[in-house]
Structure 1
């Protein structure tokens, strides 16, 4: 028969080691139990096939796609973020008919679809050209728009802590739309209404902090109040008007602070994550969209190893905070480049992280746990953490070294399947319920009380 730590003793151990109270605040807003995947630069037909053939079995509830609007025709991913005509839907991913068909296919598979909506600015690259739907354009000259619809005098952001500059000057050289103008607001709202009419279930609003919170709220109201989340890159030194908490009064926001905590953990320091376990995040759990990397950050940071990436996603998905997003893009050497081949192939050139079996196991665990917070957190070593998450028992090594530990996963049986180690991998617990485990650098173990090992 196994022994169990008395609850009061366990509380003392956890609080002393991590500073985390083991009892969750039942009145606090709850995290979204689901996870969505960003299929970055995927074609509509490939997304439809993914919804039909793969996503339903992986545990995700939604996908985010690249901007569908007509944009400049230039061989770079950021061309998508330079709109030409807000009324046309012909992009690198395909045309409007294929877009509608993809959304219908994903809905039939039980998968929601989120758009990426660019409403802060219009195109600038080359100063003139022809868009992906054949529309000619020049700087500040687009269908339905002329120079009077932009901020004047023209300026470029130099101080990103200054709200007036950030919201009224150009981001780089991108012409900054005057989103306080009633005509501009209605034109942009019509674009968002069209996205809803196409069947999108929600939208990411690109560069949201480059518009005032009042402007964003007014445009969304004109658009009929669609389900959105806002891209807001936090900067503690910036004015209050630019803070994520200001925009979270409107809709959930992208939480870059959580990404920083995850990266610290990947590099061996769990102290920043401990603040989330204590419920000390800047945003409430239901107003944050979280991620290990997005399409911008992965192009400006040192690439993670496979083990580091899996560790980061596991920590994010068991944090009990926010609505997590997994990025599935493509491999690149030039950070501006488009995919080397248009057709998606998870075996060649495309990362397909959402299909990774370890990542998918944690996506499914999060759903089973209902987005709850982790419990029974305990350090078994200065860089080895054990905790319970819903029906799962998780062990993580955040160090660059192999760690050997003795672990009591607090389970009543004697044999369990390590869901991360392949088919038929059985962990046998000793008489006292513990097991000696050797964890590789950035290694993970996941046991589930409801899991049965499948045959090899």
Structure 2
């Protein structure tokens, strides 16, 4: 049915990962789609908020100023509307989708002042709740609805405060008003017309699910230049639900997928062996750990909230340069270009749709599993060397490990793994290995 479209990322077939190119310029993302992301099987890019934001100078131009909207005009440090359109067109033309980080819960901070210190130069007056470039006025905010003493969220145990009061002083939009819902939808529909494939909804926990449903119901289908007729935008909602609060990610399933922050948090705990955790316990990873169901989850290990942006002394964004060795220069860190990450993006594409199979563990921190007859991965996170003979489920042959190297010109640049006619293979991983894991798949077979 058409009503389930908001859960589908609208990526090309056999493309299963989204890379967040946080704070990149639109011109650099367009280039990266063409020269790297498309050839390596990336499904799409999550971009930083493209709408006009406040300019903050104390501290000097922090990354989080982009989470303080002034209007829905498309001009930011990442570029103007023409550059944004060019990026979306060029990325779509090579089969890489664009997902917009939509900041629609709030405008700028209450102490944002008045003037034209905004990335398009639009006038605003935060004290008067006046944003004429939208336009929003005092009537369009939740100040009267909030029941906390300060007007801020003081108690996360009170769902009314979380949704109706100001998140870290950010002016909270009154999304129960049809006018506000229409302005939000108008902004998102403008982006759909340009060709985006979907949205990350920022601060979804701070909006009532029904108010979100109301503006999402106003969205158009995706642009038929790149998407089949009747395709709905992909929706994934930022809901930080680590347990211990009354608001649950499940309240938002009707609107689309939900970010599963427990995924990275728990995985980090296991890999570090904290709290008595061990990798053997990962056998029922996912729903078995109380996570959001697979068909409603958007998962990640790391995200921008625990990293930081970059910039020049003049507050502009540095271009992304590419070094001879394919890493990024100009102080940018491009994890998606690290061999191990890029090759596991490809691994995930190759095994897409295959069943979880051939699990093995040593009762501690050595584990292995396959995905049907397409791929197999094994880890040694114990403090002793490992040598095991395991069923991989793979066809017989010689495979290149895609962690220590890859298949190039019909040779392996890293380790080789021999799988015998019965699917068995020997794996040796010593504790001094640069990366104590090995991954093989059918597209890396000699």
TM-score using structure 2 length: 0.80
| 2:375 is the counterpart of 1:392 | yes
Equivalent residue of 1:447, what SS?
Answer: strand
Gaps of 5+ in 2: 1-6, 221-231, 322-327, 406-412
Q: Secondary structure at the match of 2:166?
A: coil
User: 1:360 deviation in Å?
Assistant: 1.6
Of residues 158, 166, 172, the one that matches 2:154 is 158
Instruction: Kindly indicate whether the alpha-carbon contact (under 8 Å) linking 2:398 and 2:445 is maintained by their aligned counterparts in 1.
Output: no
Q: 1:259 to 1:339 in 2, by over 3 A?
A: farther
How far, CA to CA, are the matches of 1:366 and 1:279 in structure 2?
21
1:288 paired with 2:297, answer yes
User: What are the equivalent positions in structure 2 for 1:73-92 lying under 5 Å apart?
Assistant: 73-74=55-56, 75-86=61-72, 88-92=73-77
- Asked if the contact 1:77/1:338 (under 8 Å) is kept, the reply is no
| 1:229 alignment partner, SS class | strand
- Aligned match of 2:165: 169
Deviations along 1:252-296, whole A, 9 cap, x unmatched?
Answer: 010111122211232133366333367564422111000001100
- Paired residue secondary structure (1:70): coil
Distance (Å, rounded) in 1 between the aligned partners of 2:169 and 2:18: 32
Deviations 1:365-412 (A, max 9, x none): 11111244531111136111011124112111234x353222324355
Q: What does residue 195 of structure 1 align with?
A: 191
| TM-score (structure 1 length as normaliser) | 0.78
Cα deviation, residue 192, structure 1? 1.1
Structure 1: how far apart are the matches of 2:45 and 2:303?
14
Alpha carbons 1:112, 1:201 under 8 Å: kept: yes
Q: How does 1:49-448 map to 2 (within 5 A)?
A: 49-74=31-56, 75-86=61-72, 88-124=73-109, 126-130=112-116, 131-139=118-126, 140-143=129-132, 144-153=135-144, 155-224=151-220, 226-239=233-246, 242-268=247-273, 269-270=278-279, 273-276=282-285, 279=288, 281-298=290-307, 342-345=318-321, 346-380=328-362, 382-390=364-372, 391-399=374-382, 401-410=383-392, 411=394, 413=396, 415-422=398-405, 423=413, 425-428=415-418, 433-440=424-431, 443-448=436-441
Specify which structure has the bigger relative contact order, considering alpha-carbon pairs within 8 angstroms and separated by 6 or more residues. Answer: 1
Aligned 8 A contact 1:180 1:215 in 2:
yes
2:141–2:171 contact (8 Å) kept in structure 1: yes
Answer whether contact 2:242 2:261 (CA < 8 A) is retained: no
**Helix, strand or coil: the match of 2:368?**
strand
Range with bigger deviation, 419-428 or 432-441:
432-441
The question of whether the paired residues in 2 share the 8 Å contact of 1:372 and 1:389 is answered with yes
CA distance in 2 between counterparts of 1:118 and 1:58 reads: 30
Q: Are the equivalent residues in 1 in contact too, given 2:49–2:67 (CA < 8 A)?
A: yes
Residues 339 and 439 of structure 1: CA distance in aligned 2, closer, same or farther (over 3 Å):
farther
Asked if the contact 1:380/1:407 (under 8 Å) is kept, the reply is no
Say whether the 8 Å CA contact 1:117–1:206 is kept in structure 2.
yes
* Deviation of the 1:185 alpha carbon: 1.1
Q: Structure 1 stretch 416-425 or stretch 352-361: which is displaced more?
A: 416-425
Aligned to 1:313: none
Q: How many residue pairs are counted as aligned between the two chains?
A: 387
